[in-house]
Amino acid sequence: MKLSEAMREKMLLSFELFPPKTEKGMANLPGTIEHLMKYRPEYISCTYGAGGGNVGANREVCQMIRNAGTVPVTHFTVIKNTKEGIRQQLEQYLADGVNHMLALRGDIPLGETTTCGDFNYATDLVKFVRDEFGDKFEIAVAGSPEGHIACRSLDADIAVLRQKQDNGADYIMTQLCWDMEQFKYWLDAIREAGVTMPVDVGVMPILDQAATINMALSRNGCVMDSELCRLISRNWLFPNPFNAKDADGKPFDMFYEDKVKRFKEEGIEYTIRQIDEYRALGVDGIHLYALNKWKDVSEIIDRSGLRTLI
């Protein structure tokens, strides 16, 4: 059964991993996946490096996911990719037994104004995959509840989402969104625009201050709601979370350890509350960015009841 069809029957749980940069990280990943498999995720997705720099590692991770017994979904971008290159890579994924993808444009490389490839947008990629491969791939596409950082307007971005559906996309994986009022507005607006694809919501666990700020602001321009801002302020690592230790690795902030611990505890509570709200809205899936960690993710799933109540 397609994931999009399964989502119409019940709310799915899935995880997102990234290909580790080190051999040690790669060696540890099967163990992490094994722990996550305890929660019977309907799929696990694996990110794709901008410009395809880590395709080898991505394919390896997809195989780890497959071997663990769930569906691998590969992220895929058009950055620096030609039509022929895309065709060959996708044929390789199919040969590897990977037939689910998240079709993305990718971020424009720094210093460039285009994708440096044959396609400019994810809509083009969706159409190309359907034209070339028919129904061989199940295709997810990105949705941005706050509007993509470079969009002309939220309306224009929603029109693009409709176009992705018209071009053959199956379901939506969302960008993280901490602004629940905005999420509700977007959900109503896409339905009004005729977007009927299931919505699989991306949830980033709040575990680390610098990573949270970085994820929100480095590329995506995501709003942090006042509760999250206060959580960060209450536990602020002086002088700042990006520069919390001196050259010898000694923290500048005398309360460093306590704050890191408390931030994570409060961040987990915050994440669980956010999951509650998404579930109450009737979303079709919870897609947890597992950040290649299993202990904290397990705590979130156990305490939220994600696998006991559904």
Binding site for ligand FAD (CB under 6 A): 47-48, 50, 75, 77, 102, 104-107, 121-123, 142, 148, 150-151, 156-157, 160, 173, 175, 202
Give 125 or 206: the residue with its C-beta nearer to ligand FAD: 125
Give 19 or 241: the residue with its C-beta nearer to ligand FAD: 19
CB of 160: closest distance to ligand FAD in angstroms?
A: 4
Q: Are strands 138-143 and 71-77 parallel, antiparallel or unpaired?
A: unpaired
CB of 134: closest distance to ligand FAD in angstroms?
A: 21
Give 50 or 213: the residue with its C-beta nearer to ligand FAD: 50
Backbone angles phi, psi at 233, to 5 degrees: -60, -40
On the 0-12 / 13-18 / 19+ scale of CB atoms within 10 A, 239 is: exposed
Q: Report helix, strand or coil for 141.
A: strand
Give 74 or 235: the residue with its C-beta nearer to ligand FAD: 74
Give 156 or 310: the residue with its C-beta nearer to ligand FAD: 156
Give the C-alpha separation, 126 to 131, whole Å: 9
What distance lies between CA 73 and its chain's CA centroid?
11
Give 6 or 160: the residue with its C-beta nearer to ligand FAD: 160
CB of 153: closest distance to ligand FAD in angstroms?
A: 9
CB of 253: closest distance to ligand FAD in angstroms?
A: 32
CB of 263: closest distance to ligand FAD in angstroms?
A: 24
DSSP-assigned beta bridge partners for residue 139: 101
CB of 17: closest distance to ligand FAD in angstroms?
A: 10
Tokens of 131: 């034209």
Give the C-alpha separation, 127 to 145, whole Å: 23
Tokens of 25: 């990280």
Q: Tell me the CA end-to-end span of the chain in Å, nearest whole number.
A: 19
Tokens of 20: 């580790």
